[in-house]
Amino acid sequence: MDKEPKRTVKKKRKPATRKTPPPAKKAKPKNTGNNKKRPVTNKKPKRKKRRVRNYVKELVFAIILGAVLTFVIGSFFLSIVNVRGFSMIPTLREGDKVLVQKTTDLKRFDLVAFKSGNGDTQIRRVIGLPEEKIAYTDDTLMVNDQPIDEKFIIDEINESQRNGKNYTEDFTNRELASSVVIPDDYYLVLGDNRPYATDSRHYGLIAKENVIGKVKMQLFPFDELKSF
């Protein structure tokens, strides 16, 4: 008998699976000698400190320059004067400090600082100007025969008159100088504390050459700071 041929069993093939290629490796940069690792430095704080130092230097320089300019300018145009005595009460008192502008351009009722005959610096109020005729009659200031109000002492005048007294005694400029009017380059000055003040009624008219300047501001005490 003939033998049956052997049957060959075909093996089932597994479906092919695609393999994903491994990620490509990054190429290392070539060492050219210029790409060495440098230490990381924080430059911002150094720059900030440098700016602060420069600002402080400029500020100190500005303060010093301002102080020098103030001293130089002040020595020519301004001065500080201490008030002595009680002749200017109630406007100024003993120990007050005032700022004086160096000028001889004076107007009526300005507060003026001047050198007295003994060399002391005094402060009084300008009442009479050159070429004026001055007189006081019954507590009224007469300038060239015209009445002028003294509002800065009106309360004191009223109080004195209620007590039956004149706050300013009667007098004329002719009694102080042998002329009908005040001579050129001279001023008649009075203290605001009329009953007790030492002023032109006692030492005469003051010369323009002895004038230091005009009182512009009271500096001390600080709680009484004011300008004139």
Banded model confidence at residue 123, pLDDT cuts 50, 70, 90: very high
Query: Comparing 1-5, 66-70, 71-75, 182-186, which segment has the lowest mean pLDDT?
Result: 1-5
How far is residue 122 from each of residues 8, 51, 127, 154, 195, measured CA to CA in Å? 143, 52, 15, 23, 17
Looking at residue 68, what is its pLDDT? 62
Rounded-to-integer distance, Cα 199 and Cα 126, Å: 10
Tell me the CATH class for 83-222: mainly beta
Following CA atoms 69, 72, 73, 77 in sequence, which dihedral angle do they give, to the nearest 10 degrees?
160
Rounded-to-integer distance, Cα 98 and Cα 85, Å: 14
Is the CA virtual torsion 175, 177, 178, 179 positive or negative?
negative
Q: Does an H or E element contain 201, and which?
A: helix 200-203
Give the rounded distance of the alpha carbon of 153 from its chain centre: 30
pTM of the model: 0.68
The 10s digit of each residue's pLDDT in 14-53 is 555 555 555 555 555 555 555 555 555 555 566 777 777 7
The beta strand positions in the chain, using DSSP E, are 78-82, 97-101, 111-115, 121-128, 134-137, 140-143, 146-148, 171-172, 186-190, 206-207, 211-220, 226-227
The residue extents of the domains of the chain are: 45-77, 83-222
Which residue carries 């007098």 as its tokens? 171
Amino acid at 134: I
Q: What is the mean pLDDT of the chain?
A: 83
pLDDT at 7 over 90: no
The 10s digit of each residue's pLDDT in 87-112 is 999 999 999 999 999 999 999 999 99
The 10s digit of each residue's pLDDT in 126-165 is 999 999 999 999 999 999 999 999 999 999 999 999 999 9
